[in-house]
Amino acid sequence: MVTVHPTAVIESDAALDDGVQIGPYAVVGAGVRIGARASVGSHAVLEGQVELGADCRIGCHVVIGAPPQDLKYRGEPTRVVIGERTQVREFATVHRASTGGHGVTAVGPDCFLMAYAHVAHDCRLEEGVIMANQATLGGHVEVGRHAIVSGLSAVHQFVRIGEYAFVGGCSGINQDIPPFLKVQGAPAKPLGLNAVGLRRHGFSSEAIHALKEAYRILFLSALNTSQALERLKRDLPSSPEVERLVDFIQRSQRGISK
């Protein structure tokens, strides 16, 4: 059964699956689709083409699907898609895409966007991403699975943050952050491997050791990035984690933080 507070405003062509709960003064606009058992808190606004997955939790005063903050945008139809079980806490914002990307701002399943976090147009967050209070992503940012962006950090548009990376608080990110790393600062600099996070997610001691060796060659030697990558391929045994690290760096368009 769908539960809607009498003060909420639900447009007639919004689609609410079974078990959805809508709180006081919430606004659910035309074209919004809300999955089973999801809840929308008081004064939250969902507008435009928004798809909210099952079991999501949307806090009070959240805004999802507002137009992108892009001067080129002229009202073209774009979307926001949020995966199952994602939590978006109070006053956080997720903007729909502009026309300069893929047409979709995508937040994966099991993400956690804390209070006042901002996800700009055309961002793509994979599963399990955590954004702490007031963390901000510029447009077209990509964040890999289970990465963490700590509070008061700002990420420049078109930056990529790799899987299982950890961005420390109050950081400024203007270049790509390779997977598995821990960084902090403005501009952010590598502080080592995110070993604690990797252990928590079940990475083997062998995988962590291989990544530590890769980190040493990439960031603690006198080699430039191209030389370090060549040495990694030559000297380190094959490892899926190291291969993902190398592939990420090779595909970087903005360069990596060093």
Spatial CB neighbours of 116, under 8 Å, sequence gap ≥ 6:
90, 91, 92, 133, 134
Whether 65 is catalytic: no
Omega before 187 within 30 of 0, i.e. cis: yes
- In order, the DSSP letters of 174-210 are -SBB-TTEEEEETTEEEEEE-HHHHHHTT--HHHHHH
Query: How many angstroms separate the CA atoms of 191 and 182, rounded?
Result: 5
CB 144 within 8 A of CB 100: no
**No. of helices (H) and no. of strands (E), the chain:** 4, 28
> Of 65, 128, 139, 162, which is the active-site residue?
139
Whether 156 is catalytic: no
> Of 35, 122, 138, 146, which is the active-site residue?
122
Whether 108 is catalytic: no
> Of 61, 95, 121, 146, which is the active-site residue?
121
- Residues with catalytic function: 121-122, 139
